[in-house]
Structure 1
Amino acid sequence: MKALLVAVNAKYIHTSLSVRTLKAYANSDNVEMAEYTINERVEDILRSIFLKKADVVLFSCYIWNVEVCLDVADMLKKVSPETKIIFGGPEVSFDDTEYMQKYDFIDAIMRGEGESTFKEWLEIGEMADGITYRENGEIIRNKDRELIHDITSIPFPYDG
């Protein structure tokens, strides 16, 4: 399974710590990342993501990019219905059920700190703690994941 971590930054000079940290923590050859900006055309972002042929696309959502993420994810699900779409980040973590009810193209939401949740999700899927997902038309909310207490367990995400 190929996973694509997507960041939509506020400016082209920004980089996303979140997708880099998730990728480093997962330590998997099946995880890629892609970064865009809110100033890019939604159609161009969609095309780029679609051409990467990922099985699952994970969007890192913040107040400045959630609308772009929603637009891209909605169109992606229409052109590639088999692609699993997962949202995470502070903008969706605390309103997970509401987002799932409102946007049927979202297959799951990772709540809270994503490092351990993402790594476990790669191994066991929706049964991982910290996941809200759909099953037979129902929204299932797994128990919250415990916070990471030892920050040194998170690898430094920048090469160097």
Structure 2
Amino acid sequence: MNTSKHLSISFVFLAAASLLLGGCGDKKETPKKGPAPKSAPPASAPPASAPSGGTTAMPKISDADMKTAKEYFGTYCSTCHGKEGMGDGPAGKALNPKPRNFHDAEWRKKATWERVHTVIKKGGAAAGLSPLMAPAPMYQDNPGVINALTKICLDFAK
């Protein structure tokens, strides 16, 4: 085989190997640059000035969303937080840290709509709390139910 043919074949194999191996790295796609999309807050999101420790500036919650939220709390949340929000649910007894007691006076002084809403929507880890507190996944696209769950938690100690 002549030298130029041998070099051509070697070059083709080297190029093919480079292309194949180049796709095996842990490369992350870089986001395309451009203006950031503007997003409007959800229509049922609480106002930014919602007071801490209170529930006076909450968004309007429909009866249907409240009914769904009460059913959800009774089925899922109460297993850890208890039916009355005391943190004494049957599954909560085995957890460490213990589930939130929504009647705790110290917690009530610091509880804000935004924080409780975040914990319910995104889970405990999103607010620096226990990752054992899972988000409410089936209602991510229904902010009315998330708002109603937030109200339920904040209303326990009234």
TM class by shorter chain equals under 0.3
TM-score if structure 2 supplies the norm length? 0.27
TM-score if structure 1 supplies the norm length? 0.26
Larger Rg over CA atoms: 2
Structure holding more strand per residue: 1
